[in-house]
């Protein structure tokens, strides 16, 4: 994951159809004191809407924050159009 620090063990907590939705979810998690990162955030700007096979914009958190992040995303779901949060 080039856009996330490599020294951290990251866990996927959500997939979004566009960067704006992922950034909203990231901001919400940050407001709760978590440290989310968006995989491919830099390339998402360039590829937005270009490749329909793209697997979405992926939101990660450090492994120790995964449970709390997943609960927060379920309680306050991201905007319509975002993919489901994976099961724990």
pLDDT confidence of residue 27: 94
For 53-58, what is the mean pLDDT?
A: 70
Q: Where are the alpha helices (DSSP H) in the chain?
A: 19-31, 41-47, 66-75
What is the predicted pLDDT for the residue at 48? 52
* DSSP 8-state class, residue 65: G
Q: What structural domains does the chain harbor? A: 10-75 (3.30.70)
Residue pair 43/56 in contact (Cβ under 8 Å)? The answer is no
Residue closest to 25 by CA, chosen among 80, 67, 64: 80
**47-76 mean pLDDT:** 80
* 8: pLDDT strictly greater than 90: no
Q: What is the mean pLDDT of residues 36-47?
A: 69
Share of the chain above pLDDT 90, in %: 40
- 25 close to 84: Cβ distance less than 8 angstroms: no
pLDDT mean across residues, the chain? 77
């Amino acid at each position: 994951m080039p856009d996330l620090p490599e020294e951290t063990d990251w866990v996927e907590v959500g997939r979004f159809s566009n960067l704006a939705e992922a950034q909203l979810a990231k901001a919400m998690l940050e407001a709760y004191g978590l440290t989310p990162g968006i995989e491919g955030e830099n390339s998402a700007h360039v590829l937005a809407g270009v490749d329909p096979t793209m697997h979405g914009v992926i939101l990660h958190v450090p492994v120790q924050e995964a449970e709390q992040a997943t609960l927060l995303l379920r309680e306050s779901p991201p905007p319509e159009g975002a993919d489901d949060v994976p099961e724990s």
